[in-house]
Structure 1
């Protein structure tokens, strides 16, 4: 699609932007729940969330909310400004993740487990595009990355440093790392790019 045919985010009707925002957050939380229930490995941040949950006895969703709020404190020295999407991200992703974990049956065999992983990674990729295309503020974790980019680091390096740190910490705390984690790392970026054809970003 040529740039001339891409609709600027700010020109989208507000109800459509809100639908993309909250639909994306619901889908993101569901994707997290699918990966957790697969038992085959989570994305880097969710390895950390699960590890903290196991140490504290809190639900994963509650940990996601708390970590999101704490991470936003790092926005202050990085001079990042939250939006409606940022605050909503902190609250709703964790709620939807807990709901998905509660409602989904645990994967009792590898076939179902890998189906969960595939659906989870695809859901998170599509959710990312929906959330970004709403144009209502970066997620709390992504805001740290963009803040580091403003300080001079490349996007690739800042994302790598953040995700390898939370992955290692989560693994040490007992979060699940496995082939599902590897698949997430390899597939979520290309899938996100594919989904931008449906919801072009500007």
Structure 2
């Protein structure tokens, strides 16, 4: 069992199974995924560039003349197909990820005023990246399944026994570079996300691991 939690430790909010609904895991899961959506919304509102996966989708959409919405769906399905050789399983968290992140991304974009000054734009982008990273760790350590991209990250960590921060950074930089080469738009916010999100996740994960070792 130790191998199962080498990358993502067991915590006091870890669920007993992929689909079992329990009060504490459910509360942490809903809060974490809501914050995840808010973080995505703040990054979007910053106007400093989309996330690397969105840049990737944009680049493919430009080359194929398919709408970015359909391209994003195709990418998600393709990424989940990569779960098969990595022996990953979807769970209750995977389902809620799809619902809550989209909901709170939309609410944030609709209700929070967009920044008008450059310093405010950076505050939005950096805040979004930080809370995205923290929320990602909390929902993943519930062990009820990840979203398509986070699942790929976790699967690669288990497969190659690499740290989460390293794998996340490699993935983000890779898809960002491919998206840019395909014609996607990259901004300073995109680069901050690509190079910063992995470190935020790794630092948060290290703190949680230390707390649960004491």
Structure 2 residue corresponding to 1:89, chosen from 97, 108, 129: 97
CA contact (8 A) 2:56 2:175 kept: yes
Q: Distance in 2 between matches of 1:79 and 1:124?
A: 26
Out of 41, 47, 54, the position equivalent to 2:55 is 47
Tell me if 1:73 matches 2:81.
yes
Equivalent position of 1:182 in the other structure: 191
Q: 1:129-164, CA deviations, whole angstroms, 9 ceiling, x for partnerless residues?
A: 221232212332122233344554745775455323
Mapping for residues 6-85 of structure 1, pairs under 5 Å: 7=12, 9-10=14-15, 14-49=22-57, 67-85=75-93
In structure 2, how many angstroms separate the alpha carbons of the residues matched to 1:29 and 1:65?
Answer: 17
Question: Contact 1:45/1:167 (CA < 8 Å) preserved in 2?
Answer: yes
Q: Normalized against structure 2, the TM-score is what?
A: 0.70
Summarize the alignment of residues 61-140 of structure 1 with structure 2, pairs less than 5 Å apart.
67-140=75-148
Query: How many residues are matched?
Result: 194
**Residue deviations 1:22-61 (CA, integer Å, cap 9, x gap):** 11111111111111111113332243356568865566xx
Match runs of 1:138-177 below 5 Å: 138-152=146-160, 154-155=162-163, 158-172=167-181, 175-177=184-186
Measure the CA separation in 2 of the matches of 1:177 and 1:43.
9
Q: Alpha-carbon deviations, 1:52-82, whole Å to 9, x = none?
A: 68865566xx876664344222222332211
SS state at 1:134 partner? coil
Q: Do the aligned partners of residues 132 and 153 (structure 1) sit closer, same or farther apart at CA in structure 2, a change above 3 Å counting?
A: closer
For residue 145 of structure 2, give the secondary structure of its aligned residue in structure 1. Answer: coil
* Unaligned 5+ runs, structure 1: 1-5
Provide the TM-score with structure 1 as the length reference.
0.73
- Separation of aligned partners in 2, 1:44 and 1:74: 19
